Amino acid sequence: MLEIDGVSKRYGTIRALRDMTFSVRPGELFGFVGANGAGKTTTMRIVLGVLAADAGEVRLEGRPIDAARRRRIGYMPEERGLYPKMAVGEQLRYLAELHGRSAAEAKAAAARWTTRLGIAERVGEEVQKLSLGNQQRVQLAAALVHEPDVLVLDEPFSGLDPVAVDVMSAVLRERCEAGAPVVFSSHQLELVERLCDRVGIVRDGTMIAQGRVDELRAGDGAGATVVVHAPDALPGWADAVPGVTASRVEHDRTVVTLRAAADDQALLQAALATGPVREFTHRRPSLTELFRETMGERTEAGAA
């Protein structure tokens, strides 16, 4: 189990993290989501010891994390940490050896992961000559090549094509099934919803909601999502209706988010006032909708 417990961090006057607390269990895929600047990268850097926390503690298997335990983590940093002029295979073997693998183990692991990640033909090429997506595959191989017990990945899916997304997803799932706690940050919320066992939503350096997506849906602050097909309605017709926190157009429908506990009758009346209403159905909010709702709620709470 990887535990982040009450971690705080300032950069000068900026409070990047405030009492950041969450844990990732063995065999669990944890999605770490939040707006730009929310504190995800800072948290991951502290887990890896690249940055020191001002307060709080990171624990692995119940013990404060130290250099030896950190070597058991596979890390994909946001700034990506490869040597641009080194050949792919050489680099992976070097990184595995740096983490204590023998030369033979390093060679076998480099071959295994480059094959698994579809970059076996690139092993002799300099990293800087690869496309960005392929560099990212090498970066994932670099995080895996020492057979880590834990994975911490900063936006591993950004910039990947759909095939690479599938490969990355399958590899992360496999690592979980092998018992590793895996945490990754992402702005691709559909992907996070599809892939993750649990999700943590971070805002202004603190965790404001965490759990399975269905738990977040059932939470006190979760609103309702209503799909309305009112063909004669003008754009923005739902915006001023009491209880509505967001609305957007999806194909020919309006998808409306209602504040938790808000009544849908005002919305129905507003829809009927525009002309015929062909559909008025509640649907389970997606993680994207829950995220917007959570953010909106906090903004309102913060403004109050």
Applying CB under 6 A, the residues found at the interface with ligand ATP are 11, 14, 16, 34, 36-42
User: Closest distance between ligand ATP and the C-beta of residue 33, in Å?
Assistant: 9
235 within 8 A of 229, measured Cβ to Cβ? no
Of 17 and 230, the one with the shorter C-beta distance to ligand ATP is: 17
Residues 255 and 239: their CA atoms lie apart, in Å, by 11
User: Closest distance between ligand ATP and the C-beta of residue 187, in Å?
Assistant: 7
Of 106 and 189, the one with the shorter C-beta distance to ligand ATP is: 189
Of 99 and 187, the one with the shorter C-beta distance to ligand ATP is: 187
Of 40 and 292, the one with the shorter C-beta distance to ligand ATP is: 40
User: Closest distance between ligand ATP and the C-beta of residue 270, in Å?
Assistant: 36
Of 38 and 168, the one with the shorter C-beta distance to ligand ATP is: 38
User: Closest distance between ligand ATP and the C-beta of residue 236, in Å?
Assistant: 29
User: Closest distance between ligand ATP and the C-beta of residue 128, in Å?
Assistant: 23
β-strands 55-60, 2-11 pairing: antiparallel
Question: Which residues are CB-neighbours of 132 under 8 A, at least 6 positions away?
Answer: 159
Burial level of 179, CB count in 10 A (0-12/13-18/19+)?
A: exposed
**Angle in degrees, 0-180, between the axes of helices 132-144 and 162-177, rounded to the nearest 10:** 10
Identify the three-state secondary structure at position 38. coil
161 within 8 A of 192, measured Cβ to Cβ? no
